[in-house]
Amino acid sequence: MDMHYNFLLRQHSQRLYLLKLLRSQDLSTAHLDHVSRTITVSRLQLYALPTWSGFSTADLVNKI
């Protein structure tokens, strides 16, 4: 279980780094919002949290 969460957190960190790079390249706020929703928010809200929250410890949930 911890390996799965670590994978998701590492993936999320990479996606945040991508957003920072796009912002530094002067991508508009609207486009950043669209990219953010596409690659980050949807993954965590629609996949990770509902699916695994019942099997998670409080410590793992707090990491997210």
Question: pLDDT digit string (tens) for 2-12?
Answer: 787 788 788 88
Residue 7 located in a structural domain: no
Which stretches of the chain are DSSP H helices? 2-24, 29-36, 42-43, 49-52, 58-63
Residue 35 covered by a domain: yes
39 part of a folded domain:
yes
| Whether the predicted pLDDT of 23 surpasses 90 | yes
Structural domains in the chain (count): 1
Query: Is 40 inside a domain boundary?
Result: yes
> 42 is in which domain, residue-wise?
17-23+31-50
pLDDT beyond 90 at 20: yes
pTM of the predicted model, to two decimals?
A: 0.59
Q: What is the pLDDT of residue 45?
A: 63
How many C-beta atoms lie closer than 10 Å to residue 6's C-beta? 12
Q: Does some domain include residue 8? A: no
Q: Tell me whether residue 45 is in a domain.
A: yes
Is residue 60 in a domain?
no
